Structure 1
C-alpha cells in the first residue's frame, strides 16, 4: 500500500513534467553549489544565537537563487514559505523546498545535508529532486515513472526479515513536544529489540534516499513536516518501497506518522510501531 496509489489524489498526471524536472534539477544543482561554497568543515557555532543566524543565512542565500527558477519552471505554481510546516496544502500546485535539508549538519561542518525541491499537486508529490552537493549525487523521481540516482534506476531493499534490517528514525525539528519525543524514544527501543541496527539521525531525507536505494530497509517518523518527508516518500514509492503511516494506514499530508520501508518488511515494522500510542 502506498500513499500515492490512488490516481484520484492527483488531478493531473505527469505528462509534460519531464521538462519541469530537467529545469528543477538545474535549479537545485545551482543552489547546491551556492550552499557548498558556504560550507566549512571547521565551522563550530558556539551558542544558540550563532546557530540560528547561520541557519537563516544559509536559507536566505539559497532561496535567492532557487525560488524564481522553480516558479518559472512551472507557471501557476506557488511556493510554500515555511519549510518546517506540516499538514495539507490548498488545492493546486506547490513547490515544497528545503533550501538546506540538514542545515544543522552543514553549519557544524558535517556532511549530511542536501537541497531538495518537490512539486506537490493537490497534496500529492509528483516530482522531486534531491541533490547532495558534496558527492554530486542527484536523486530524482516523477510519479509513475520510477526513481533514479544520477539517471540510474533505484530499487528498494528485498529483505523480508526485520531481524536482518537496518532501520532509522530521527527528530523532524527542534522543539518537539515531550510526548512526541517519548514516543520516538519508545520506538527506538522497540526497534532495537526487533531489528538488526537502528540509526537515529537527521535529516529525514538523508535516510530516506538510503531506503529508496535499498541501502537501508525502513525509516519512520512521528511528525508531519512536509519538506522532510515528501521527497523521500516519492523516491521510496517510485523505487518499489511501501509508504504508509506507522499503523499501516495510507499516508498523506494530513497524517502525523510516517513509515517508509522495503515491501517485504512493512508488516513487521507496522507490528512493532503500531502499539506505541
Structure 2
C-alpha cells in the first residue's frame, strides 16, 4: 500500500515552514548558549590568563573563549551539519542550507578575564542573509534573552519592551570603546561632547548585554563604533524586537562604522547628534 498524496489544503505553507525552522534554530541557540554559559561560569580557571591578542595588546582572547567557541560550533555542526558558521575566534564554514550561525563565545572578554559579571554568550542565526533568531545568555546575571524575527523580545521567557523615549537630556545612554588607542581617543572626545546633552553615559563592556538592556528598559539608548557581526547580530535583533530602532549613519543599518539603538523618538535625534559629532570615524 502506498501513501496517498497530501491534500493541497493540508500542505505546509511557507509561513508554517519558516516558523518550524525558526523554532528549531531558537531551541538549538538556547541550548548551545546554556551549555557554553555553564562551561564559562563553572570551569573558569582561577589563574585564567591571556591566550592571544587581536587588534591590540589589550584586545585579548582567553583559553575559555576558544573552549566555548569549540563547544558551540561543535554542538551546532553535529545537529545541523549543512549550516554555515561565523565565530569570533576563527570558526568559518560556508554551509549549504541558507542558515548561518554568528557566534561570540564571550562578549565582554576583558570583563570575564577580571572576574566581572557583565559578559555574555551571543548566538544569532541568519537565514538568507537576514537575522531570524537571537540568543544572549548572561550567566552571572542568571538571565537569558532571546528573540525570533517578528515574534517580540523575551527575558527568561517573559516578554520585554524598551522604555518610552525620554527627552534627550533625560536619556541614559550606553557606549563602548575600541581597543586601538587612536580610535579610543576620538571616542572619548565624542563622549565628552555628548555627556552634557544626556542624563548620563554608561560603559558596560558587552555590546550584546547593552542591546538587551535597551530592549528590557534598563537603558534609553546605545551607540558604539567598531562592532563586528558577532558583537551585534543577536543583540540587534533582540533590541528591534523589543521595540527599539537601530541603525548606523542616517539611512544605513548597523555596521562596523557605527551602531546606534534607541526607542523611536529618541533614536532620530541621537543618531543625528552622533553623526554631527563624528562618532562614525576615527
Q: So what's the TM-score if we normalise by structure 2? A: 0.80
Measured against aligned partners, the alpha-carbon deviations of 1:105-145 in whole angstroms (never above 9, x if no partner) come to 11111111111111123432111111111232110111111
Unaligned runs of 5+ in 1: 1-11
- Deviation of 1:259 after TM superposition, in Å, equals 0.4
C-alpha distance in structure 1 between counterparts of 2:226 and 2:125, whole Å: 20
C-alpha distance in structure 2 between counterparts of 1:20 and 1:160, whole Å: 35
2:276 partner SS = coil
Does residue 1:251 correspond to 2:253, yes or no? yes
2:166 partner SS = coil
| Alignment partner, residue 24 of structure 2 | 19
Match of 2:39 among 34, 40, 49: 34
CA separation of 1:183/1:21 partners in 2, compared to 1, >3 Å: closer, same or farther? Answer: same
- Deviation of 1:276 after TM superposition, in Å, equals 2.5
- Deviation of 1:45 after TM superposition, in Å, equals 5.6
| Alignment partner, residue 66 of structure 1 | 72
- Deviation of 1:46 after TM superposition, in Å, equals 9.6
**For 1:186-225, what aligned pairs fall within 5 Å after superposition?**
186-225=189-228
C-alpha distance in structure 1 between counterparts of 2:68 and 2:198, whole Å: 38
**For 1:168-179, what aligned pairs fall within 5 Å after superposition?**
168-172=174-178, 174-175=179-180, 178=182
C-alpha distance in structure 1 between counterparts of 2:89 and 2:50, whole Å: 25
- Deviation of 1:13 after TM superposition, in Å, equals 4.7
C-alpha distance in structure 2 between counterparts of 1:276 and 1:121, whole Å: 35
Does residue 1:149 correspond to 2:155, yes or no? yes
CA separation of 1:216/1:64 partners in 2, compared to 1, >3 Å: closer, same or farther? Answer: same
- Deviation of 1:164 after TM superposition, in Å, equals 0.9
- Deviation of 1:153 after TM superposition, in Å, equals 0.7
1:264 partner SS = coil
C-alpha distance in structure 1 between counterparts of 2:160 and 2:80, whole Å: 26
1:128 partner SS = strand
The runs of at least 4 consecutive aligned structure 1 residues that moved more than 3 Å come to 12-15, 42-49, 72-75, 81-85
| Alignment partner, residue 9 of structure 1 | none
C-alpha distance in structure 2 between counterparts of 1:61 and 1:46, whole Å: 13
Q: CA RMSD in A?
A: 3.0
Match of 1:230 among 204, 228, 233: 233
1:263 partner SS = coil
Larger Rg: 2
- Deviation of 1:171 after TM superposition, in Å, equals 2.2
CA contact (8 A) 2:176 2:203 kept: yes
Unaligned runs of 5+ in 2: 1-16
CA separation of 1:46/1:67 partners in 2, compared to 1, >3 Å: closer, same or farther? Answer: closer
Q: How many residues align?
A: 256
